[in-house]
Amino acid sequence: MKIYIAGKIGNEEEKAFLEEVTALCEKLGFETFLPHRDVGLCQGIEDVGRIFEGDIINGFQGVDLVVAVLDGLHVGAGTAWELGYAYAKGVNAIGIKRDEPVSEAIDYLSAILLGSMEVVGSMEKLKEKLVSLKS
């Protein structure tokens, strides 16, 4: 099973948590695709085509699940797009939001986004959910 890891990469803390989520998935025996690790970062407008092709055209091939980090005051345009794309392709998603209960974040996460996936509140809950998918 291949998991696409989605989330903001605006700072080192965000990148580090995406890598932690990836490590958990790999430890559980899943194949992962982590865009900033597997394709690289966009340094300017000249990288847009390379990033889109690498992240979406190639990165989504064979994906069975998206795990999306939803921490912060907004999800991020790329993460929201990836989740919508996954939904349109029939790929399930699990969100993880550790910084506050989902019930308190509905104003900026949107009912549409929340209605498209299950959201867990901790790494332990994410692990439980992933383990249940393996059995």
Average pLDDT for the chain: 94
> Which CATH number applies to 2-134: 3.40.50.450, 2.60.40.10, 3.40.640.10, 3.40.50.300?
3.40.50.450
What DSSP state is assigned to residue 42? -
Q: What is the pLDDT of residue 92?
A: 97
Cα–Cα distance, 52 to 89 (Å, whole number): 17
What DSSP state is assigned to residue 64? -
pLDDT tens figures, 121-132: 999 999 999 999
pLDDT tens figures, 39-88: 999 889 999 999 999 999 999 999 999 999 999 988 999 999 999 999 99
Give the number of other CB atoms < 10 A from CB of residue 41.
Answer: 11
The answer to whether residue 135 scores a pLDDT higher than 80 is no
Q: What is the pLDDT of residue 127?
A: 98
Q: What is the pLDDT of residue 36?
A: 94
